[in-house]
Structure 1
Amino acid sequence: MIKVEVNNCNNINTATIQLRKNHLNIRYAMNGAGKSTIAVAMECTSNNESLSALQEFGSEIVPTCELSEEGNKVLLKVLLFNEQYVDKFVFQESEVIPNSFEIFIKTPQYEEKQASINKKLNDIRVDFSKNEDFRELYSAFKTIIARFPVAPSGKLREGGTFKSLTKSLSLHQLPKELAKFKPLMEKDYTVNWVAWKHEGSNYDGNNICPFCTFGLDAEYDNQKQKFTSSYPKVDVKNRVEMLSLFHSIDSFMEEKAKETLLQCIQGLQNEGETRLWIDKFHSELVFLVEAITKLENFNPHQVRIDGISKLEEQLTGLIVDTSGLQIFKSKRVEELFELINGNIKALQKETESIKREIGALTSLLVAACKNTIDDINNFLFTAGINYIFDIIPESEGESRTILKYNSNTKGPIEVDNIRGHLSWGERNAFALVLFMHDALKKDPELIILDDPISSFDSNKKFAIISRLFSSARVSFKDKTVLMLTHDLQPIIDFIKVNKPKSVPISAYYLQNRSGVISEQEISDVDIKSFLKLLSEDSENNELNIVHRVASLRKLLEHTPNDDDELKLAYHILASLLHGKPEPDVLNGPKLTSAEVTSGETFIKKYIDDFSYSYYINNVFTKENLLKLFKDENNSYIKLQVFRVLVEVAGLRTRIEDNPLIKYIDEQFHVENDYMFNLDLLKYDIVPDFFISKCNKFLEEEHIVS
């Protein structure tokens, strides 16, 4: 059981209602009782939102709402259907409802099948992260490639490392003028030494060595010029670093090619040969890095369902053909890629199984779409809404929902501005079924329907209720639902008629008396045939006589009959209720003595002591009616007495409150839409303020003090 306590919200000082879990909980109340306030308060509490918007005007008391189970406060997930849901969530432009894939298609079966496929796709991922050789090769290759920028033409740029390797002199084959520096040019510190030597040359102006202070010989200037032009520091740095990188990957190279490339890097080959080999070296590096990157980036989870048939082809595209390699045509490289290629070929054999599962997943998608489309369109047809709903899967994980007008002459026509084309009733009815699917997907612990069907005719009401709580796969049956309504029809359908069948239900009447809401349970015995209710009340000697007379007159209005005695009885009762001294035909002549006797004979079947002359002179007097009004506790009967009292006292024309007059007349005359009614003696259905208005009027007329 869920206990809901609402305090100091709008016109509610305090309200406590108990909801049965896994039941449809109907709370029937008159307009203005505070139903929507309860609904919004519960929703705000569920969302941890402030209730300040529900604070009563002029009050400083903080509004509160608390939900509890077995005495323990709980925070339940609540989803509310009301006008705001229709206005903000559904029918935006040409889209029926957003996030339709999640709502309609992504069923538990779909998710289960998709998880199975994802696992298999994950198993075919080519993972070389644990292979030390691949990690070493991949990292070093990318570093080397970065040293050789490529021009838009696709050729290596004439600069950087490429220029250093092709233009500068060899560090291992020095010009004869610089031969004595060879030992220093082959050390680990060569680059720093070259920088040091270049820097020192700035301080040789005194014709002495800036390093040892010895006098400079005749060859110094020639050596200095040759060294500066032959060995710029950046070129030396690039060549030394390239040698280091070369040695980090030379184990992946074919032996003869390795020797030739080494000579090129050392500067022992001519420029043309060096350019040829460096270009080939770069091309093979790019080929292998791109192949490995393709392997690394291949993500089976990105394979779209509609492209799964090409998975085998994609795997084939991952196989690396090393037959065209020259520099890296080594046994080590061949073994590495034979291992990867072998794994890929083995995985290709698994694609058939994945294709079959993808086929099953696609079937689930199609079935989910069809089931939803059929369900909603059947509802639209039953409810007399001349539109067709459709779901269009657009990509994996996405879909679009559209609405088509079912034209008699042009066939289905897609609707762009859905909100502008649907009537208010069509929009609400359609939105309710969409809300059902949405709510079931979000799986809240409590679903609230705020006056969901009050504005529809009886056929649409039953169509909507039947669909929402049917035994279909998708429905609110066995969910915890609170339906707040001022419409008696759902209670008649569920409690009295028991349709739809087998729906766990509890129904209560909510009454707001001076801000305090109480609930009173409604059972099938409390819902009576309207004619039976009128007949029973007419014969009940314990009831207020005004109510008995009014009930019998209503009964006769509901009993078409050519019997003269019945017609006369009706005229007599109507005359009495209007306080006429003598009974007459409405807008016609007075009844004869014989006609009065005949009519009274019929009335005595229900009111055994009835005599028009006695009742008009002793019972339906101003004084007695005022006493009956004061003594009556039932608001419905009190209102009937008030209407007769103002007629008898000649005060009706003095009532300036038109809503009050309208409400009294509707309660007094035959204004009932239902075959069944709540027991009006048990359930106080008249809002507080109408009785207050009656009392105020009588006080103003100095009839009561």
Structure 2
Amino acid sequence: MAAYEISIRNCNSIDLAAIRIEKGSLNIKYGPNGIGKSTIARAIVSQARGDGTLDALIPFKNRGKAGSKKPQVDGIDDVKSALVFDEEYVNQFAFQQDEVVKNSFNIFVKTPEYVTTMAEIEDLFTGIRKAFADSVEIEQTTKDLKELREAFGNSKTGAIPKNSKIHKAFGTGNKIENVPDSLKSFETFIKSPEPSKWISWQIKGNEFLKLGDTCPYCSTGLPEGPQKETALAVAKEYDATAIGHLNVLKAIIGRLGKYFSDKCRENLEKVTTAKIELTAQEQGFLSGLKTDTDALIEKLEGLRTISFFTLRDVGEIGEKIGQLKIDLAMMDKLDSVETRKVTDPINAQLEELIEKVGVLKGSVNKHKARIEKAIKENQTSINSFLKSAGYKYWVAIIPEPDSYKMKLIHNDLNEHVESAAKHLSYGEKNAFALVLFMYQVLSENPDIVVLDDPISSFDKNKKFAILHELFQGKGSLRGRTTIMLTHDIEPAIDVIKSTSDVFKGSSPSAAFLSSRDGKVNEVPIQRGDIQTFTKICRENIAKLADPIVKAIYLRRHYEISDDVGLEYNLLASLFKKRATPTVKTITENRDMSAEEKGKAQESIRVYIADFDYDDLVKQLNNVAAMKAKFLRTDVGYEKIQLFRIVREHDDDIITKFINESYHIENEYVMQLNPHKFESVPEYVIDECTKLLTSA
């Protein structure tokens, strides 16, 4: 199978990393923290997307220096898209306020087949869409009708409420058209284009009349009497807000005038210019106008927004579409020549759609069935995973007015969980987000998928459940070019050895990453490389030459085999550099007898033929020779063990750290041979070297 030979240069702490990625496979890259795995992920994704973010990885040592080398990624020129799972993905895309993952509709429902079918359905509505588009006035007319409807207010009985805008404007008579005789001197202002502004200004000034006999508007004398009463009368007769409503409504009615029937216009003229409070008949007329207005808006909006979404829950589509026909005979107050110019073309297109209703019904129902199937499959898969992983949550894909959204529901709650991120634990969020990410990959189909340390924080059972969900079966990442960067060896153990048959469909490969002097190297991990540490110890004892290094592995062999008899005690004494070996158990702590020493030494020679305790103690006490041995080996694990022997009694922090961290090297039953796979971080080796060479 073809592979990408990727080279990454000058990115953060990486001077050069050479990475091989098998196409269409799961590529596990395992290595300790601190070697630049996240940098590798960011570099590959930045190069694939070509979004200009690669330059952000320039090493600190190169920043601000003229002519310094820029970040560079080679070997993936044909890769144009990438998706990456990391902490940023969890924070930015998963667990939104009102849906489980951002754009859940696009991920779980909007498949290529969905888009094609929607286009076919929308094509049936082309005529109606065109009828609306060809009527340049219909948008403004609909807007005016809605504003007029709002002015009528809401009432269960159908009567015009007294707190409605139209009642406030006309309910007690039109005092703009019918200025009271006492205020004729203000008629020019009251009948101005925006009388509410003048009235508001005039009323605000009234509070200053009580300060004296001078007009607050013109500073002329204003003695008590008719003049002052006239100034105050404006506030008694007029309400600025009501006048504002009246002015707006007059403008709306003026724009809508041509859409009213002749009789309706006559009646509106009477109502809007009346001197006195509206009669019951006039109020009844307004109620009827409101009913017709509501009906026309409902028809226009229903036709304008007709789509798959408005019909998906309709039992009988033909009946629903027939109800959308605009019958102006039933809305006589809006039955005019101009109204028919708007509605007739729409009705004509509706008739054509009614002729195709059989096709439309079939398309909508088939589309619904496909969507329901997709939803059911996605929900079932995710919910099965959540259940198998022991999470008390489930998901449901819910219809929205023009979309679908995936919601999170707790087993103990009958409604979806708002702000899921606040309720899920760190582990729950990561596990769940990984599965959601998988579906996003299936939806967007990127050229390459990067998983940056995705499952290290989970226990063994959940790790396997997540790996199984991600890479086993048709609806998974199987067959996609995927890079999993991890500091956890367990995924490699699972997919390469322990349960390899389960994951063979993903054609998995694994490699061990190590870093020295800014260069990241990878060593392929084969099935045979994953061994018990007992086997590793025996293998190294058999093939290595140095008896001290061989003794290091033999002591570990006895330790992990729980064989801590005379042989183990002799080797423990050796590394303590004791001239006389000791026996230390739970019940005793004494010198080893000569006979015991001889017996133990003979047993050890089965593994190390030239083992001589006294000679090796002398070597271990020769600090210069031990430092030379330390510098000679290139194997980090062996350097650490030699360092511990030389610096046995030091009290510095690095020595304590090494003694704690590398005494029991690996918690797994299966692991990699530290003689072949460089598992010790570079900074630890550097610190050990510095301490030894400076002593």
Q: How many Å separate the matches in 2 of 1:117 and 1:446?
A: 34
Match of 2:649 among 650, 653, 656: 653
Q: Write the distance in 1 (CA, Å) between the matches of 2:372 and 2:462.
A: 29
Cα distance in 2 for partners of 1:9, 1:337 equals 65
AA aligned to 1:14 is L
After TM superposition, give the deviation of residue 600 of structure 1 in Å.
2.3
Residues 611 and 317 of structure 1, relative CA distance in 2, 3 Å threshold: closer
1:531 Cα offset (Å): 1.6
Secondary structure at the residue paired with 1:654? coil
Contact 1:68/1:74, CA 8 A, preserved across alignment: no
Matches within 5 A, 1:239-638: 298=304, 300-301=306-307, 304-309=310-315, 311=317, 312-318=319-325, 344=350, 347-404=353-410, 406=411, 414-473=416-475, 475-497=476-498, 498=500, 499-540=502-543, 542-560=544-562, 567-586=565-584, 588-618=589-619, 621-638=622-639
Are 1:56 and 2:60 counterparts?
yes
Q: CA deviation at 1:434?
A: 1.3
- The alpha-carbon deviation at position 10 of structure 1 amounts to 1.9
Q: Aligned AA for 2:668?
A: Y
**Number of the residue aligned with 2:248:** none
The aligned amino acid for 2:650 is R
SS at match of 1:653: coil
Q: Deviations over 1:446-482 (max 9, x none)?
A: 1111111122222221111111111132x11111111
- Shift in Å, 1:33: 0.5
Asked if the contact 1:7/1:13 (under 8 Å) is kept, the reply is yes
The alpha carbon displacement at 1:444 in A equals 1.7
Structure 2: where are the runs of 5+ without partners? 143-151, 153-165, 175-257, 259-288
Deviation of 1:621 after TM superposition, in Å, equals 4.0
Q: Would you say the 8 A contact 2:54–2:71 is kept in 1?
A: no
SS in structure 2 at match of 1:377:
helix
After superposition, the Cα gap between the structure-2 partners of 1:417 and 1:117, relative to the gap in structure 1 and judged at 3 Å, is: closer
CA contact (8 A) 2:472 2:503 kept: yes
**Per-residue deviation at 1:505?**
2.5
What amino acid maps onto 2:56 in structure 1? S
Query: Could you tell which deviates more after superposition, 121-130 or 424-433?
Result: 121-130
Task: Provide Cα deviations, 1:179-218, integer angstroms capped at 9, x if missing partner.
Answer: xxxxxxxxxxxxxxxxxxxxxxxxxxxxxxxxxxxxxxxx
Q: What is the alpha-carbon distance in structure 1 between the residues aligned to residue 347 and residue 12 of structure 2? A: 73
Match of 2:105 among 101, 105, 115: 101
Deviations 1:544-582 (A, max 9, x none): 323211211211122235xxxx61111111111221222
Aligned ranges 1:657-676 → 2 under 5 Å = 657-658=653-654, 660-667=655-662, 669-676=663-670
**2: distance between equivalents of 1:308 and 1:21?**
47
* Structural mapping, 1:175-186, within 5 Å: none
| CA gap 1:543/1:490 in 2 versus in 1, 3 angstroms | farther
Equivalent of 1:682, from 669, 676, 683? Answer: 676
7, 32, 35: which is aligned to 2:34? 32
Question: What is the identity percentage for the equivalent residue pairs of Structure 1 and Structure 2?
Answer: 30
**Counterpart Cα distance in 1 of 2:646 and 2:431:** 44
Q: 1:307 to 1:537 in 2, by over 3 A?
A: closer
SS at match of 2:582: coil
Q: In the alignment, what sits opposite 1:167?
A: none
Q: Which runs of 5+ in 1 are unaligned?
A: 143-150, 159-245, 247-282, 647-651
Query: Are the aligned partners of 1:655 and 1:697 in contact in 2 as well (CA < 8 Å)?
Result: no
Alpha-carbon shift at residue 594 of structure 1 (Å): 2.7
Aligned-pair CA distance for 1:605: 2.0
Task: Output the amino acid matched with 1:49.
Answer: T
* Count of residue correspondences: 545
Partner Cα distance (1:323, 1:630) in 2: 100
Letter of the 2:120 partner, please give it. S
CA distance in 1, matches of 2:609, 2:417: 66
**Secondary structure of the residue that 2:398 maps to in structure 1?**
strand
| Change in CA separation of 1:346 and 1:553 when aligned onto 2, cut-off 3 Å | same
Residue 58 of structure 1, CA deviation: 6.8
TM-score when normalising by structure 2: 0.68
For normalisation by structure 1, the TM-score amounts to 0.67
CA contact (8 A) 1:316 1:344 kept: no
Name the larger-Rg structure.
Answer: 1
Q: d(CA) in 1 for partners of 2:455 and 2:79?
A: 28
Sort the Cα spacing of 1:430 and 1:340 in 2 relative to 1 into closer, same or farther, 3 A.
closer
Cα distance change on mapping 1:10 and 1:341 into 2, 3 Å? closer
What's the counterpart of residue 255 of structure 1? none
- Matched AA of 1:579: K
Residues 75 and 537 of structure 1: is their aligned pair in 2 closer, same or farther, counting only changes over 3 Å? closer
Structure 2 SS opposite 1:585: strand
- Structure 1 partner of 2:13: 11
TM-fit CA distance, 1:403 = 3.5
Supply the distance in 2 between the matched residues of 1:476 and 1:572 (Cα, whole angstroms).
Answer: 53
Deviation at 1:628, TM superposition (A): 1.7
Residue aligned with 2:379, SS:
helix
Q: How does 1:162-201 map to 2 (within 5 A)?
A: none
Query: Which amino acid in 1 is paired with 2:511?
Result: Y
Give 1:338 shift. 11
2:687 maps to 693
With over 3 angstroms needed to count, the CA separation of the structure-2 counterparts of 1:314 and 1:694, relative to structure 1, is: same
What SS does the aligned partner of 1:487 have?
A: coil
Q: Kindly tell me: are residues 403 and 68 of structure 1, through their superposed partners in 2, closer, same or farther at Cα, counting changes over 3 Å? A: farther
User: Amino acid of the residue matched to residue 109 of structure 2?
Assistant: I
Question: Structure 1 pair 425/586, CA: closer, same or farther in 2 (3 Å)?
Answer: farther
Residue 79 in structure 1 maps to residue 83 in structure 2: yes
> 1:264 matched to which residue of 2?
none
Using the TM superposition, give the Cα deviation of residue 512 of structure 1 relative to its aligned residue in structure 2, in angstroms: 1.6
Contact 1:52 1:63 (C-alpha < 8 Å) held by counterparts: no
